Structure 1
Amino acid sequence: MLWGKSRGLDGSQYPLICHLLDAAAVMRVLWCEVISAGLRAQLAEQMGVTEENAGRLLEFWAGLHDIGKITPAFQRQVWVPPGYPQGPGDLPRGHDFAAHLWLASALRQAGYADERRAPVARLVAQLLGGHHGCFHSVDPGDTRLEKRPFIGIGNGPWDEQRVAAFDAVHTILDAPEPPPNLGGDTAAVACALIILSDWLASQISFVKRQLVQLPDSGRVEDLQSFFHRSLAQAPALLSNAGLTRLRLRAGTFGEEFPFEPNALQSTIAEELPALVTGPGLLMVAAPMGIGKTEVAFHAARIMGHAAGTSGIFVALPTMATADQMYERLAAYLRNRSLDPTGLTLLHGMAWLSPLMSMVSEEHAEGVGDITSEDDTVHLAVAEWLLGAKRGILAPAAVGTIDQALMAVLPVRHNVLRMLGLAQKTVIIDEVHAFSPYMRRLLVILLSWLGRLGAPVVLLSATLPKHVARELYTAYLGRAPESAEALDLAQHYPGWTYAQRDMPTPISTAVAVPQEDRRELAVTLRPVDVSQRDGKDMVDRMPALRDELRRLIDEGGCAAVICTTVDQAQETYRDLRAWFDQRKTDGSASPELRLLHSRFPVGQRARITHDVITTYGPNGDRRRPSVLVATQVIEQSLDIDFDLMISDLAPIELLLQRSGRAHRHKSNDASRPEWAATPRLVVLTAPGEDTPRVPKPWTRVYPHASLIRAQRLLSRREDKPISIPDDVQDLVDAASPGDGIGAPDPLLDGFESAEVERISAGFVEVQAAEMIGIATPDGLTNLYSLTDREITEELISTRFDADSERVLPYFIGEDGDYHLGGPDGPMVPVVPGAGRRFTREQCAEVINHTIPLRASLLQGRSEANMPPEAWSNDVHLRNLVLLPHRVDADGQPVGPVLGDQRLTLHLDVGLTTSF
């Protein structure tokens, strides 16, 4: 008679006791058939019980999660059985809080320890009270029910029924003795398993099927029979949801990949298997373009097998690089997976990805298995995994690093993200690109993954020794026995492997064959810096004219990387004017492209695809061409140029950018004579050894880092950089750490810049520590893991990130609103009150949006708010609208926000003018 589910059941009510037993049945199958062997062993060890009893405890707890629904506050939403009192003072608190409060007392009475050193009863009650994704805080004294009579729990028949349900679940499941131990980290993962069991057992289609086979009565023997029927249904329920274990075919590196391994790949393949005996951390530092992705896939299989994990998650720095990696991992899994594998793409715009769109379309037709046109991607993604917050539970996933770091931010359901990661081998690429804020969040994440036994592979083009030491310490939960020993163990190129049972890490240097070594010629070209309206203006054109003249005359391709979007736009326009002038003289003119983050989503995707097609491994390099870009091309994009020109940047980023010059030997035969050797041209600040760095550059990078980079390069006196031999020394000299040490000769005269760098880094680290969750050590109160006021939309894993999304639109002569230009498609209109956008309409709007920093949107008003009809769509409700008009000359004019005008130009993207 006490109901547990009613929504979507066409007027029927599903008995609460049946839902509790369904959740327990799902948990039993989850534990036995889905949860990885490594995580099962880890949880059992931390609880101090056998794996079998750990699973039985979890299914018992799952059978109690909704017991707070046996309260007047919940039941009166539909109806209250006769004889059940409704006190006038009952407070309408959520049933999750009621479960937390009541179970803390009930579990104590059932023999669960509740001492200071073993608060097992309180933690189990708290984890069950957190099954809606947020944890509650209750003072231990307040769990005495006589002190909280009017909290919606009720007494008399209500309490009798809760006790009856508790006893029935305990009897039917034959619940084992309470665990002697329960740490906060184990409780957090247990909560995630409860949430997952609840979600699966709450699917309307499943509940409707269960309604036709309800027990004849509430007697234990009838409920026992019902439980076994639920148990028989659970395997199909999990399989249809796509929750399976990833099983990879064993083999040598040569069997996994269709090419001969290079030196790095060979040492990993030959030496790593003998070292790996359990969960561990692999750090790989090697030059760009050396095949670190294949190393990561091969190592992940070896490490995952030893640690008992059953999945892979690959974290990338950007959405574009995640999209690329998605296809690479899909191709690998198609060849090496023993079963059809669910592979999800996770980032804010993943639902716009053509591949994921194809998955959604196939599911709309009831098909879950698709193959791309070029037969390189094979997917079997269950529709259930495409739901919100579920994708990370797939056996394989690719996403931005934000998707992993969100597990250590205090947002709802973060423990579910942690569960998804804990069962996988986690690969994190481009670690060198992390800011102090992101690196601190990574440290917190590594501490959790190390505790939970998830293997981790960290990939980096450059890895300073102090960063390697920090990451090592975080994962293993202890500092190395000797910091010097760890420093000495770092090799470049090379890799380091560590496990908790290893006293010191094992490190291997990679002997790079002579044919794979290269000498990078570095040319320093100071730019002209002038003042305009009190702002520093950078003129690159004198240097660019000199450096690009032979390209124009003899062919080839070059990239010009500017520090800011504004400067990239200005440089593009200056180069276009110069090239157009040459056209009028009858001279040859190269192709010119521009890529940065302030293009609309769809346009940026098209430009990125064009860039990869033109400059990729098999690109069309017949015409001379120049790409002007920002930092967006320095990470993970597989592109190759004859010449790299870059604004001054920290040394590790300059080295990273140089990896896009002469990246593929297959292109060497087509390079022009002037580009016979790789060359990096650095546009430096004027002033030689006492440089005057333009302020726009110091707003992006620490002033001290730029001074170090310029002085390190200038003091080499045109000596080429030997790659890889010189890389580690340059990186360590340019990245001394985050503390104040001995005076650095590289900063003579700029000591205050170093203090500013350290202070800014300290602010970022403090911000990360304030917003990030606690590490597992000593975590006894789950309440600190979530904050009910914080949502994923309000929190960022990147310090001062582009956290807002703007939608420029144009008001046409007809008064209608258009996207992309005055003649572009009309802004979609919601057809009727209460209706929602279709997926296609929503995608059309989002494809015209642009990410921006909030600081660029000061002064927004009601005119910039989206229509009320958009408030029901999570993708549209927080957009900032930028209405545009067209002036008498046919030029777009955007709105003024604060002291600047934001205008979308079709050729250069969104501009800011003061």
Structure 2
Amino acid sequence: MDEVDLRFWGKERGLGVRYPLICHGLDAAAAIRVLWLGYVSSNVKARLSEALGLAENETGAVLEFWASLHDLGKIVPAFQRQVEIPDGFADDGNSVAHQRASAWCVPGLLEAQGYSGGKTGWARLAAQVLGGHHGRFEELKPRLQLGDQHLPFHGLGAAQWQEERVRVVTALRDVLAPGVPVSRGDRTAAVLVTGLVILADWLASQVGYIKERLSFVPERGDPAGLEAFHAGSVEVVARWVKWAGLSRLRLKPGSFKDDFPDFEPNELQGDLAEKLPGLVTGPGLLLLAAPMGMGKTEAVLHAARLMGTATGSSGVFVALPTMATSDQMFTRVAEYVARRGAGESSAALAHGMAWLRPVDEMLAEVVTAAAEVAGAEDTVVHSTEWLRGAKRPMLAGVGVGTIDQLLLSVLHVRHNSLRMFAVTNKVVVIDEVHAFDAYMRGLLSTLLKWLGECRVPVVLMSATLPSHVARELSAAYLGTDGGLEVPYPGWVYAERSGTSLVSAVTVEAEQKRTLGMDLVEVGTGDGGVVKRLPVLERELRPLAEHGGCGLVICTTVPEAQQTYDYLKEWARQHCVELKLLHARFPVGQREAETQRVIDIFGKPVTEEACARRATRRCVLIATSIVEQSLDIDADLVVSDLAPIELLLQRAGRLQRHRVCDELRPLWALPGEDGRRRMVVLSGPEQDPRWLLARKAWLAIYPAANLVRAHRLLVARQNDGVRIPDDVQNLVDLGNPGVLPALDDELLEGFTDEELTRAAEALVQRQGAEVASVPDPPMQDLVEFSEHEVDETQARTRFNADSERLLPLFELPEGTVRVGSPTGEPLPELRQGRLALDEAKAVMSHVVPVHGSLVRGHGPQDRLPEPWASAWPLDELIALRHLVDEHGVVHAGAIGQRSLLLDKELGIVKRA
């Protein structure tokens, strides 16, 4: 074999010397070997081995070879001239991106190695994989355009450059000894391979790693020197993979009681634990639907362990609707893994503001608690600095985050193939499935088609899952026309192989309850906030006189703010503690308020704590953010009218914790008819046309769904709502599919509103089809990267263009302070950057808001320079308050709107 020319460099930045290209290729191959043996899940290995038609170890060798070639396109004049073109090689003067050059060079070189050509052969697909290592797939040139005489025209250099590329390919083949895959390629598998190659490249490109290998660069590019270098790279990269936190999650075997020794499994948990182990023969889908408070989280964690063990998955990712619910779930999942894990496991919180959270402190607390459990001392759950980098949290063994992080894998964002690989390496758990609109369900259906095709275990759960949603999502995963029906309460499990079971759960009589969802008229129109005060004072009077905790849920943030403002004097007179929680508080304040709410309304751990809460007088005014995943309990729930499935979710906060039932204040106990009472604020009982005047509500919920909810509750004023017996029927009646239900008796007189609802749902579904990648299998890998959008602009939610406000306060002498008139000034930049602790301090004052609230903002609303150009402040909108000489704070203007940060109310619209 001719020696490889080590003058061709692959890395130089941050090193001070040139690092040979073939050494970087061998480093990437070493990373693949280590990841393949210790990180890639068994089901991903099986899927890729089947696609390549090779044994598992042979597949790993082929992927090592491909990864070693990812930067082959750097052997072109345009790249080498950035530092120096080796003597004897001519510069053709043309330019081409090196990843594109890799894609163009590789097909012919692989065909020379025995690979099948043509549009469906692995030579072409492997070339696109390597061309996609920067996160976007490249179009391939027709073969006739890549003849030797055309190479310089395309920036690939003359014949001598091609000869060197051939030498490199031959050398890498001889060192790595790969086989040749089957003739027909698999585009779905190719997407996963691309994600793995990107990961290997990232690991091997770290400056610290390369510096560690510099002194071992061989003096010559001969076989013996290259083989020795590769062997050393395998040893070194193993340490860097461990440092990065890339390892398989391993959980101890056992029963449900082993997983959760502090309580006996209830009907749902016991049924799942008894029947599921005999069903899981491979990757499958579990759908679980049960009332609020039935321990679904524990049931699903147990099921995910069984499914992950059976399929050899390398981890778990739990997705939720919001950042707040993700934060709370993160500690629950981490605590479970700390108790039940075997060995080390990395954990990451994945959402847009996760970098602000004290993840290390959160993990330290749960690990310390778990260490008190016998046998947990050998378990380490940790977070790594590397996994906190952009796009990396999904690679952790244990991940918890928002559903958006999953959906980004099927949007046209750069590195979506890396995200897809990360997802397929795990058991995927998605909570609160009912909370997604038609647009998000469209994206989720695409994701489930990919997860089904890639053989990923998936769990979907909800307390209020419409039957049409269950059918739609299960059909997407299973690749069938018809989907599955889920009994309520109960679960269904199915695999593509045909294994399936539907299991309805019998709820014991003492576990059932009847709710009195009493409709109470508070007036019509958007001025109804003032009119609700007499009703609220009347309904909350027993609490004010005898103690207890109440929850009032308003439809909009302004209504919650006004209700809180109006009740303050009443609360003062009756010594009632008043709390306010919504989405327009600064991040730090909202987190602190959420924790205070959990301290008051969360599950008491002792009988003494239950007794204290029964005598405490506290009312929480909130928006819908409290209806999902927050484990809070109120003696009385008062809610605005909402779609029926959301009212049932809110009812799940009504006397949720059975441990407190015997110690609740007397006024909150069930009446003679056995009902627990929930109040729904509404309009005239018989005529829902009043809803059409509630413009603020209709901006959030379809009028047709509110009409359905109103009429369903009117029909149940005498009998109440039986939990769980009535739930599924109510949810299905109140939540139709995308198509209009014009024969629905509940909508008599509201045909136009139903047509509007259906039209909006169809627009959302079509938007999801346009935004998402094609269903597998695709015609060409390029389709996975078409219409590329920046990740910050990618829409995972329909019409939810969120923005971030930073309240600034300008004092009379010109000083600008952050968060309040007494806050800190904007910190000084060092080399154009903020220190991490300073960035976190500033971002704790940021307020996430819907784009409509700041419509019309422009360059004049950016932060002053130089902060406007510094991450993470570069995308913030500055809300400038003027503070006069008397200390009075004046509202700031954004577009045509006047906004004020009130320390009690959050961001308030003034005009």
State the TM-score, normalizing by the size of structure 2. 0.94
Is the aligned partner of 1:7 residue 2:2?
A: no
The 5 Å alignment of 1:640-719 reads: 640-677=633-670, 678-686=676-684, 688-693=686-691, 694-719=694-719
2:757 corresponds to 1:761: no
SS in structure 2 of the partner of residue 794 of structure 1: coil
Q: Which one of 3, 8, 33 corresponds to residue 38 of structure 2?
A: 33
Tell me the secondary structure at the aligned position of residue 297 of structure 1: helix
1:632 aligns to what?
A: 625
Task: Tell me: CA distance 1:712–1:887, structure 2 relative to 1, closer, same or farther (3 Å).
Answer: farther
Residue in 2 that maps onto 1:290: 294
State whether structure 2 residue 619 is matched by structure 1 residue 623: no
Q: CA deviation at 1:813?
A: 3.2
Partner Cα distance (1:455, 1:846) in 2 = 37
Q: What amino acid maps onto 1:354 in structure 2?
A: P
What's 1:64 paired with?
A: 69
The 3-state SS of whatever aligns with 2:449 is helix
* Secondary structure, counterpart of 1:692 in structure 2: helix
Map Cα deviations across residues 297-323 of structure 1 (whole Å, 9 max, x no partner): 100011111122121111111111111
Correspondence 1:443-482 to 2 at 5 A: 443-480=445-482
Q: C-alpha separation between the residues in 2 aligned to 1:309 and 1:371?
A: 23
1:202 Cα deviation (Å)? 1.5
Distance in 2 between residues matched to 1:186 and 1:646, nearest whole Å? 49
Asked if the contact 1:529–1:538 (Cα under 8 Å) also holds between the matched residues in 2, the reply is no
Cross-structure match for 2:488: 492
Secondary structure of the residue aligned to 2:294 is: coil
The residue matched to 2:638 in structure 1 has which SS?
A: strand
Aligned to 1:773: 773
Identity rate, percent: 46
The answer for the alignment partner of 2:435 in structure 1 is 433
**Equivalents in 1 of 2:250, 2:369: separation in Å?**
25
- In the other structure, the counterpart of 1:366 is none
Give the alignment partner of residue 568 of structure 1, picking from 560, 565, 575: 560
2:238 corresponds to 1:235: yes
In 1, Cα distance between equivalents of 2:843 and 2:526? 38
Question: 8 Å contact 2:26–2:172 — kept in the other structure?
Answer: yes
Distance apart, 1:896 and its partner CA: 2.4
Whole-angstrom distance in 1 between the partners of 2:183 and 2:452: 23
Query: Which range moved further: 835-844 or 863-872?
Result: 863-872
**3-state DSSP of counterpart to 1:546:** helix
Cα drift, residue 386 of structure 1: 2.3
Find the aligned partners of 2:530 and 2:730 in 1 and give their Cα distance. Answer: 27
* Post-superposition offset of 1:463: 1.1
Partner of 1:225: helix, strand, or coil?
Answer: helix
Residue 490 of structure 2 aligns with an amino acid whose one-letter code is G
TM-score (structure 1 length as normaliser): 0.93
Find out whether 1:515 has 2:519 as its counterpart: no
CA contact (8 A) 1:562 1:647 kept: yes
> Helix, strand or coil: the match of 2:216?
coil
SS in 2 for 1:446: helix
Query: Number of residue pairs matched?
Result: 883
Q: Distance in 1 between matches of 2:835 and 2:755?
A: 53
1:247 to 230, 250, 273: 250
Distance apart, 1:388 and its partner CA: 1.9
Decide whether the 8 Å contact of 1:496 with 1:506 is kept in 2. Answer: yes
Distance in 2 (CA, whole Å) between partners of 1:14 and 1:303 is 44
SS of the residue 2:520 aligns to? strand
Displacement of 1:152 after TM fit? 2.2
Indicate conservation of the 8 Å contact 2:33/2:61, yes or no. Answer: yes
Instruction: Name the CA distance, whole Å, in 1 between partners of 2:44 and 2:393.
Output: 19
**Cα displacement string for residues 321-369 of structure 1 (whole angstroms, at most 9, x for unaligned residues):** 111111111111111111021111111111111234678xx9xxxxxx9
| 8 A contact 1:123–1:780 mirrored in 2 | no
In structure 1, distance between residues paired with 2:571 and 2:37: 66
Deviations, residues 662-716 of structure 1 (Å, cap 9, x unaligned): 1001222331111102221111133623331111111101110000000000012
Farther off after superposition, 58-67 or 851-860: 851-860
Deviations 1:157-205 (A, max 9, x none): 2111111101111121112123323222111110111111111111222
1:816: which partner in 2? 815
Match of 1:388 in 2: 390
Q: For 1:895, give the aligned amino acid.
A: G
The residue aligned with 1:529 is: 524
Change (3 A) 1:373 1:119: same
Distance 2:530 2:739 in 1: 32
Shift of 1:381: 2.6
Q: What's the secondary structure of 2:690's corresponding residue?
A: coil
Deviations 1:72-109 (A, max 9, x none): 10011111111110123x12x21001101111232233
Q: Secondary structure at the match of 1:691?
A: helix
CA distance in 2, matches of 1:469, 1:500: 15
Secondary structure class of the residue paired with 1:539: helix
Shifted more, 858-867 versus 761-770: the winner is 858-867
Q: Deviations over 1:387-416 (max 9, x none)?
A: 221121111111111111111111111111
Q: Secondary structure at the match of 1:569?
A: helix
State the AA in 2 paired with 1:896: A
- Structure 2 stretches of 5 or more lacking a match? 1-6, 373-378, 671-675
Q: Following the alignment from structure 1 to structure 2, what is the Cα–Cα distance between the partners of residues 812 and 771?
A: 45
For residue 898 of structure 1, the aligned residue among 876, 881, 895 is 895
Alpha-carbon RMSD across the aligned residues, in angstroms, is: 2.1
- Give the deviation of 1:801 after TM superposition: 1.7
Q: Cα offset for 1:518?
A: 0.7
CA contact (8 A) 1:412 1:787 kept: no
Measure, in 2, the Cα distance between the counterparts of 1:319 and 1:675: 32
Task: Quote the residue 1:747 is aligned against.
Answer: 747
Distance 1:257 1:650 in 2: 35
* Structure 1 Cα separation of the partners of residues 106 and 539 of structure 2: 73
Taking the TM superposition and a 5 Å limit, the aligned residue runs for 1:136-151 are 136-140=138-142, 144-145=146-147, 146-147=149-150, 149-151=152-154
SS, match of residue 428 in structure 2: strand
Q: Which runs of 5+ in 1 are unaligned?
A: 363-368
Deviation at 1:139, TM superposition (A): 4.7
After superposition, give the CA deviation of every residue in 1:750-796 in whole Å (9 maximum; x if it has no partner): 0111111111111111111111111213x132222225751111112
Residues 612 and 638, structure 1, Cα contact 8 Å, conserved in 2: yes
Partner residue, 1:546: 538
Question: Alpha carbons of 1:897 and 1:242: their partners in 2 closer, same or farther (altered >3 Å)?
Answer: closer
> Which range moved further: 138-147 or 556-565?
138-147
In structure 1, the residue matched to 2:731 is: 731
- Structure 1 stretch 670-679 or stretch 128-137: which is displaced more? 670-679
Compared CA separation, residues 523 and 912, structure 1 to 2 (3 A): same
Q: Which amino acid aligns with 2:593?
A: I
Shift of 1:140: 3.3
Indicate how the Cα distance of structure 1 residues 605 and 598 shifts in structure 2: closer, same or farther if over 3 A, else same.
Answer: same
Aligned CA distance change for structure 1 residues 567 and 888 (closer, same or farther; 3 Å)? farther
